[in-house]
Structure 1
Amino acid sequence: MTGLTGRTALVTGAGNGLGRAVAVALAREGARVVLVGRTAATLNDTCTLTGGRAEVCDVSDPASVATLASALADETVSILVNNAGIAGPVKPLWEVEPAEWDEVFDVNVRSVYLMCRAFLPPMIERGAGDVINLASVSGKRPLARRTPYTASKMAILGLTRTLAYEAGPYGVTVNSLSPGPVRGPRMARNFALEAERTGSSVEAAEEAFVSRAALHRLVEEDEVAAAVLAMLRMPGLCGADIDLSAGMVAP
């Protein structure tokens, strides 16, 4: 792949953060980008950076996804990036309410199932397409007080590997990308909560966290976007998970 001209990429959670960074990178490579998220204002902001098309959708809701698929019947979506996700509660498992657990799994896992269910069949019919699911290094190592999130990201790894074997024979690749902690508002919130819990400073909380990474730093949003492009340049990649964690290891 020297460029993506002529291809349409759908990115969920495209209003900000990683979704916006991925959408911008895809657009720069020539793709027509369909931006999907819950908030029109942030999607429109991303639209100014990418062009393309913005569609408001709750990707965890079957009816909303069905409406989205109907609205995009005129688009040939050949790249699907399932990025939508939430961090969920920061507390021990026994303090997590069932509604909190369900919300994390609805947004982080059910959305991937619904979007693949809606947009994979046309790819299979055409005999080509690429699906990249955003997982997390947290799905592969302990992360105390974050059980719903880590469990949901481990579920994405299992979903990806199995779906690759179902879709691969039709010429459709399915892979996952597992970023480590990415610099941005979500990690800033986590460091603030950890500092409050331990009585330390935010800076100390961040230092303790990144000290477990070989590169001793957080991952940047543009690095995640670059990884998505790199994965699309590897046509033999299928059923794989790419670790982009700056060498983060278990505590």
Structure 2
Amino acid sequence: MDLQDTRAVVTGGSRGIGEAICLELASRGVEIAIADIDEDGMADTVDRIETETDSTAEWYYVDLADPDLVDERTDEILDDLGGVEILVNNSGIMGPTAPLEDVTVEEWDQMMHVNLRGQFLMCRAMLPTMKDAGFGRIVNIASITGKAPLYNRAPYATSKMGVIGLTRTLADEVGEDGINVNAICPGSVEGPRIQRVFEKQAEARDVPYEQVEEEAKAESPIGQLVQPEDVAGVVAFLCTSDADRITGQDLNVSAGRVMY
């Protein structure tokens, strides 16, 4: 399927993976609606889209921890775009890096509200218009941490495993409506976010930052971290007709760190 003139909602599109996804889809002619809480970052992404591509974009302030605001903003997006063919659930927070017994209930709940419930809310909001059209593509960004342990990261790992479960079950539920649902499980994606994770891990283990980073690279057969554009390219592929018979899958983009 040519993506020209299709419409996409991308959560967390203000920076990092989300920004790369927005730019990749826009380069293929997709009209973009960015949903995030980082207004300056969203404005910068819109500027890049309109400068570097022939597509258009708008941004919308959406706090995924607020169900009422999610419903209000998604109604606004659908009114503005006239429909949506693609939903990319990319928003997520890092949460605590700490032993489980030191994690507060508030930290646990915030992680689940944003990383997991937020994806549920966005899917719920966008499914009716996709069902009416008899077509849709939903791509949920999970993590290899939902498959493999990561030191002192139990809340994050739990939320990302939940995303995989949501993806598989929803794919089974809406397949007859012409909607494909898949997840992408990135490995360590180079950028400020993973740097903060490495810093926290280094502090918790009382080892140098460089040791944590090198250990992460060493877990890859090719000795590399993932680039945001690697994830963005797979998102775009899953939205095309080349992926018509791919649904309910969790695809690793991990430089080989996880192979199942």
TM-score category, normalised to shorter length:
over 0.9
**In the alignment, which of 53, 70, 74 is matched to residue 80 of structure 2?**
74
What does the per-residue CA deviation read over 1:27-52, in whole Å, with 9 as the maximum and x for residues that have no partner?
00100000110122111111001231
Q: How many angstroms does 1:194 deviate by?
A: 2.4
Q: Is the 8 A contact 2:90 2:141 kept in 1?
A: yes
1:97 and 2:104 matched: yes
Match of 2:225 in 1: 218
Aligned mates of 1:249, 1:241 — CA distance in 2: 11
Q: How does 1:133-212 map to 2 (within 5 A)?
A: 133-212=140-219
Q: How many angstroms does 1:20 deviate by?
A: 0.6
Q: How many angstroms does 1:198 deviate by?
A: 3.1
Match of 2:52 in 1: none
Q: Is the 8 A contact 2:135 2:178 kept in 1?
A: yes
Aligned mates of 1:197, 1:60 — CA distance in 2: 28
Q: Is the 8 A contact 1:8 1:31 kept in 2?
A: yes
SS in structure 1 at match of 2:85: strand
**In the alignment, which of 57, 63, 66 is matched to residue 61 of structure 1?**
66
1:84 and 2:91 matched: yes
TM-score (norm 2): 0.93
Match of 1:236 in 2: 245
Aligned mates of 2:63, 2:217 — CA distance in 1: 33
TM-score (norm 1): 0.96
Match of 2:38 in 1: 39
Count of residue pairs brought into register by the alignment: 249
1:246 and 2:255 matched: yes
Match of 2:18 in 1: 19
What does the per-residue CA deviation read over 1:123-170, in whole Å, with 9 as the maximum and x for residues that have no partner?
011100100000001100111200000000000000000000111111
Q: Is the 8 A contact 2:252 2:258 kept in 1?
A: no
Aligned mates of 2:257, 2:141 — CA distance in 1: 17
Superposition misfits of 4+ residues, deviation over 4 angstroms: none
Aligned mates of 2:112, 2:222 — CA distance in 1: 31
Q: Is the 8 A contact 2:98 2:204 kept in 1?
A: no
Q: 1:220 to 1:199 in 2, by over 3 A?
A: same
What does the per-residue CA deviation read over 1:90-110, in whole Å, with 9 as the maximum and x for residues that have no partner?
001111000000000001000
Q: Is the 8 A contact 2:188 2:216 kept in 1?
A: no
Match of 1:121 in 2: 128
Aligned mates of 2:22, 2:258 — CA distance in 1: 29
Q: How many angstroms does 1:112 deviate by?
A: 0.6
Q: Give the gaps of 5 or more residues in structure 2.
A: 50-55
Q: How many angstroms does 1:70 deviate by?
A: 2.1
Q: How many angstroms does 1:249 deviate by?
A: 4.0
Aligned-residue RMSD, C-alpha:
1.3
Q: Give the gaps of 5 or more residues in structure 1.
A: none
Aligned mates of 2:208, 2:105 — CA distance in 1: 31
Aligned mates of 1:119, 1:232 — CA distance in 2: 15
Aligned mates of 2:44, 2:154 — CA distance in 1: 33
SS in structure 1 at match of 2:169: helix
